[in-house]
Chain A
Amino acid sequence: MPELKLLTDEEYKILEALSKAIIPAGDNPKTDPGAIETEAAVFLDEILSNGDHYFASDFKEGLLSLNKLAYQKHQKAFYLLSKEQDDLLRVFAADDYLSFNRLRKMIFQSFYSNYTKEDYQGISPWELIGYLGPVTYTHASAEMINRHYHKSQTDKTFTLD
């Protein structure tokens, strides 16, 4: 379990499972990473702990509502479900769209922000979708060549300004 700043261990497990369902890895996680590989849940714990208290509290509440629904429907925690997860998410999205959308949005934000941990070895989310990123970054042709031929390069280390 990583060192958490805001989430409890239980909340983190729910978030990690949810982020895997929202952004799964492909067959080869190094060339087709998902939210688990980029540690999106750790990044989210970090940014929520630095952000607005009410937003963080609504986010945590959303995680717990999802877990409650998992217990109601399957008598198990969300992170212990396997194939049932997707159907459960559909029910959750229909029942409580605002909570679901908040969780979904933040997981996408965490992944597509392109902030990864310093020791992350896979290709970055921006490289995965072919996004050219800041103009200042891709301007020099040497950098562009680098991006195409050295796929392990990540964009920026996981720090908050």
Chain B
Amino acid sequence: MNQTRYDQSLQISGKELVEEVDVCVIGSGAGGGVIASELACRRHRVVLLEAGGFQTKKDFNQREFDMNRKLYWENRLLESEDTGVGMSVARLVGGGTGVNDGVALRSTAENLDRWVQDGLKGYSRADLDPYYEKVEEIMHAQTYPRFEWNRNNTLFAEGLESLGEEPHPVPVYIVECHKSGFCNLGCKYNSKQGNFLTYLPRGFTNGLRLYANTEAYKINLNPKGEAYSVDALISTETKGFPPTALKVLAKVVVLAAGPIYTTMLLLKNGLANSSGNVGRGLSNHPSIAVIGVHDREVHQYRGTPIQVDKLYPLGQGNYVVEANKTYPMELSYIIPGWGKEHKERMKKLNYFQNIYTYVSEDEPIGTVTINKRTGKPSIKKPLTEKDKKAFSLGMAKAKQILKAVGAGDIFTTHYVSAHIEGMCRMGPNPKKDVVNLHGETYDVPRLFIGDASVFPRPVAVNPSLTIMAIAHKTAEYIDADEKGYFG
């Protein structure tokens, strides 16, 4: 019989920790963090397992190399196997909310109407608005006045205005921003409201128990085929010391490890996949930076990164343009080429105006499977002709904006992605969907999925607010206990 790492660890340490709770949540990001906290606030006994570490402001040193290794899966070098596109996936307490740009946008009514047309009754914009409001309040979402924008954002807005278009100020969950620009490397000033500063402390005061550096390996089922426990390993920072085995007995298990790792856990456990669609339907808002060079310094990497954007929805181009930053190490990867020309371009770093454009509703045709050699995710996400068309329109718009404010030497980069969605699709049809309209898997009662993997198609904008809003809805359903899971 094959031994799991959990079994090996148990043999080495000779003991396991056992927790018995109402709810075990796997993953502390935008979805899992909200569900764990909300259920704890409603007097449930909740244990939250997080593979990443509990990092606080003292750990964030604002150096790309160090933080990529500390705060992201695979040192932020995870990439698709077909196109080599980088996929940034957070690995810390708070998940993506700890390292994103804090964008707090609600998805559009038209976008969510398409979800409703797919059968997601109860997920229209009007249905989700009360949940969005709650999230905005808890995360302190706010829009900054224009005089506080950095030069990169100001130039973007001026460019759009000179084209006769109105820029859209972006609300962010950042309080009293120190303008360092290091949102993606962890906020050293606790200005960016990752949920380790908002939701999780609310949960802690209500008895939520968190295990950081703890990777869930196995979801066990009882004879009725219901989820009833989770095996996990608590790793230690000290080399040579064996990980500690942890078993969490729970009445309800919520899997919210982010689309890629939620999918991986289900595939590795062979769970919830009678539809054959676990791992299918990946969308990722493929994005590209369009950069122009100015005569005077812009310092695109300083200041609150995203303050202004513009959405051209499906039917009007299907893309978003936004002012955004890139730090030099990542910039060096995505600027095409090498050699002297590449280096000379890098020397103009401080003069770059940086605009990102991404496909708003890319076609969810990507996949994640288990790489047989490494046991790691094998990601594939080709661009369709529709995606390419949206991309070219977005790039053209970005170039117009750059030209309008006098930028020269305009060039585009390789494409990247950060907003990974789908692969455990929510819907009304057990034959093709993985979870029902409450987020519970069709195949495994008591097992819920609480992150962006349930999205049937991408949201039109940055997804974190929508993930959190839906997590509220899922928590509400679990708490209502219609099926009597809590006895």
CA distance in complex: A129, B349 (Å):
6
A24-B340 CB under 8 A given contacts A113-B64, A128-B347, A132-B299: yes
Chain A residue total in the interface (Cβ 8 A)? 36
> 1/0 per residue B334-365: CB within 8 Å of A?
00001110110011011000000000000000
Task: Indicate whether A79 reaches chain B with its CB closer than 8 angstroms.
Answer: no
B77 near A129 with CB under 8 A, answer no
Of A2-10, A49-57, A66-74, A145-153, which stretch is located at the interface? Answer: A49-57
B77 near A130 with CB under 8 A, answer no
B65 near A105 with CB under 8 A, answer no
> 1/0 per residue A95-132: CB within 8 Å of B?
00110010011001101111100000000001011111
Task: Indicate whether A23 reaches chain B with its CB closer than 8 angstroms.
Answer: yes
Chain A residue at minimal CB-CB distance from B344: A26
B346 near A129 with CB under 8 A, answer yes
**Nearest Cβ in chain A — how far from B176, in angstroms?**
15
B residues in contact with A133, CB < 8 Å: 62-63
CA distance in complex: A54, B328 (Å):
26
A98-B349 CB under 8 A given contacts A24-B340, A136-B62, A136-B188: no
A54-B376 CB under 8 A given contacts A129-B328, A134-B63: yes
CA distance in complex: A137, B64 (Å):
14
In the A-B complex, the 7 residue pairs with the smallest Cβ-Cβ separation, listed nearest first, are A134-B62, A113-B65, A108-B332, A135-B180, A112-B329, A54-B374, A22-B338
A130 near B349 with CB under 8 A, answer yes
CA distance in complex: A137, B66 (Å):
15
**Nearest Cβ in chain B — how far from A134, in angstroms?**
4
B339 near A86 with CB under 8 A, answer yes
B residues in contact with A130, CB < 8 Å: 347, 349-350
Binding site for A on B (CB under 8 A): 61-66, 74-75, 77, 81, 84, 178, 180, 182, 188, 299, 301-302, 328-329, 332-333, 338-340, 342-343, 346-347, 349-350, 373-374, 376
A54 near B77 with CB under 8 A, answer no
CA distance in complex: A97, B346 (Å):
22
B178 near A135 with CB under 8 A, answer yes
A89 near B338 with CB under 8 A, answer yes
A105 near B373 with CB under 8 A, answer no
Chain A residue at minimal CB-CB distance from B345: A129
Contact check: which of A51, A108, A132 meets B333 at CB < 8 Å?
A108
B61 near A134 with CB under 8 A, answer yes
Task: Indicate whether A161 reaches chain B with its CB closer than 8 angstroms.
Answer: yes
CA distance in complex: A22, B333 (Å):
11
**Nearest Cβ in chain B — how far from A91, in angstroms?**
14
A24-B343 CB under 8 A given contacts A97-B84, A98-B84: yes
**Nearest Cβ in chain B — how far from A102, in angstroms?**
8
A109 near B63 with CB under 8 A, answer no
Chain A residue at minimal CB-CB distance from B63: A134
A22 near B339 with CB under 8 A, answer yes
Task: Indicate whether A21 reaches chain B with its CB closer than 8 angstroms.
Answer: yes
Additional 4 contacts, C-beta under 8 A, given A55-B77, A129-B328, A131-B328: A112-B346, A133-B62, A134-B180, A135-B180
A21 near B338 with CB under 8 A, answer yes
**Nearest Cβ in chain B — how far from A153, in angstroms?**
17
B residues in contact with A109, CB < 8 Å: 65, 329, 332-333
